[in-house]
């Protein structure tokens, strides 16, 4: 009996499974794009991405870290397993795999987390969590890592393939673009707010100046003859000094 039909059927089934897997990843990308396009707040963007990755891969952990100043710490800003975490400072000495990905700008993949020599300090915790693989994909802007996506699978869960790593790298690129857009929006919003405040301050100064002039003209009108005599005897320099004092008072009044 020939085994060729059996082999062909197995190959076809494997191909169909691969295509379905690819379809699921594409749907996840579409979901991520829809979610991040609905908000320009970076914390919401990152939390949505962490949640989608955790759901797509059935992960033990899916987190997003952003670089901190000094390079010794990062901030955990989104977490699939605990969405309430938004800005937790993490010492990179505790996570050598994250430090390596951030410094090199390259993806770090650890096939067996519990036995990896670099992670001996966390061996007990990894064993208790039944951790299997760890993948750290840097989030880069203009070639420099500004953060990373941290994914951890558990023993008994689905294996993390090269295709999954490439998919996560794609998501990291989307994350970088979303963060750039959010940063541009926040910068523009801040500038617009500052401009609005400056316009309001100028308008208030004008109102105070008009009020000052009205009171000044009222005082001169009440002393018509005396005002003309005073004006003719006052030097140009003294008038400039008085105007300067008046403008300084107006500016202080406008500050509230």
Residue 56 is predicted with a pLDDT of 82
- Residue 145 near residue 101 (C-beta atoms within 8 A): yes
| Separation between Cα atoms, residue 144 and residue 239, nearest integer Å | 60
pLDDT of residue 170 exceeding 80:
yes
User: pLDDT for 102-154, tens place per residue?
Assistant: 999 999 999 888 888 888 888 888 888 888 899 999 999 888 899 999 999 88
Total domains present in the chain: 2
235 shares its domain with 117 = no
Q: Does some domain include residue 94?
A: yes
User: For residue 185, is it within any domain?
Assistant: no
Q: Which of 120, 147, 177 is the last residue of a domain?
A: 177
Q: What are phi and psi of 8, to 5 degrees?
A: -65, -40
Same domain, 80 and 17: yes
The pLDDT-based confidence of 73 (bands split at 50, 70, 90) is very high
Are residues 169 and 207 part of one domain? no
pLDDT digits 0-9 by tens, 36-56: 665 557 788 888 889 888 888
| Same-domain status, 41 and 150 | yes
The chain-wide mean pLDDT, for the chain, equals: 76
Confidence category of residue 63, pLDDT binned at 50, 70, 90: very high
**Partners of 144 in the β-ladder:** 141
Do residues 152 and 229 both lie within one domain? no
pLDDT band at 156 (very low <50, low <70, confident <90, very high): confident
Residue 183: inside a domain, yes or no?
A: no
CB atoms near residue 72 (< 10 Å): 10
Selected residue with higher pLDDT from 59 and 13:
59
139 and 198 both lie in a single domain:
no
Percentage of residues in the chain with pLDDT exceeding 90? 19
Closest CA to 172 of 188, 148, 196, 199: 148
Residue 182 placed within a domain: no
Domain final residue, candidates 177, 204, 230: 177
Domain residue limits at 48: 4-177
Q: What is the pLDDT of residues 243-252, one digit of tens each?
A: 667 667 656 6
Specify if 27 maps to a domain: yes
- Residues 162, 221 within the same domain: no
Does any domain span residue 204? Answer: yes
Statement: residue 20 has pLDDT above 70: no
- Contact status, residue 153 vs residue 60, Cβ threshold 8 Å: yes
The CATH number for 139's domain is: 3.30.450.40
pTM recorded for the entire structure: 0.63
pLDDT category of residue 85 using cuts at 50, 70 and 90: confident
| Mean pLDDT, rounded, for 161-188 | 80
Q: State the average pLDDT over residues 14-32.
A: 66
Query: Who's near 150: CB < 8 A, 6+ residues apart?
Result: 61, 62, 63, 64, 65, 98, 134, 135, 136
Span 25-40, pLDDT tens digits: 666 666 666 666 655 5
Domain membership of residue 166 (yes or no) is: yes
Q: 98 and 165 share a domain?
A: yes
Q: Tell me: pLDDT of 76 over 60.
A: yes
Same-domain status, 119 and 13 = yes
Backbone angles phi, psi at 252, to 5 degrees: -65, -40
145 vs 17, more confident: 145
- Span 183-241, pLDDT tens digits: 675 665 566 666 667 667 767 766 666 565 566 555 555 555 554 555 455 445 555 66
Same domain, 204 and 166: no
Longest distance between any two alpha carbons in the chain, whole Å: 128
């Amino acid at each position: 009996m020939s085994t060729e039909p059996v082999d062909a059927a197995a190959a076809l089934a494997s191909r169909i499974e691969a295509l379905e897997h690819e379809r699921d990843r594409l749907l996840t990308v579409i979901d991520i794009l829809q979610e991040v396009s609905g908000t320009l707040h970076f914390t919401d963007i990152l939390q949505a991405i962490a949640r989608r990755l955790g759901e797509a891969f059935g992960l033990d952990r899916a987190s997003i870290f952003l670089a901190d100043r000094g390079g010794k710490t990062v901030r955990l800003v989104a977490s699939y397993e605990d969405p309430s975490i938004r800005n937790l400072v993490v010492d990179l000495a505790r996570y050598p795999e994250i430090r390596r990905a951030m410094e090199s700008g390259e993806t770090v993949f650890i096939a067996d987390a519990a036995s990896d020599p670099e992670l001996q300090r966390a061996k007990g915790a990894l064993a208790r969590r039944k951790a299997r693989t760890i993948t750290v994909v840097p989030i880069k802007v203009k070639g420099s890592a500004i953060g990373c996506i941290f994914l951890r699978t558990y023993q008994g869960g689905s294996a993390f393939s090269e295709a999954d790593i490439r998919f996560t790298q794609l998501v990291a690129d989307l994350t970088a673009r979303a963060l750039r857009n959010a940063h541009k929006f926040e910068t523009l919003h801040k500038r617009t707010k500052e401009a609005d405040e400056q316009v309001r301050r100028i308008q208030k100064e004008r109102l105070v100046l008009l009020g000052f002039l009205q009171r000044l003209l009222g005082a001169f009108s009440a002393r018509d003859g005396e005002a003309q005599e005073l004006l003719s005897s006052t030097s140009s320099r003294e008038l400039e000094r008085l105007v300067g004092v008046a403008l300084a008072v107006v500016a202080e009044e406008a500050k509230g």
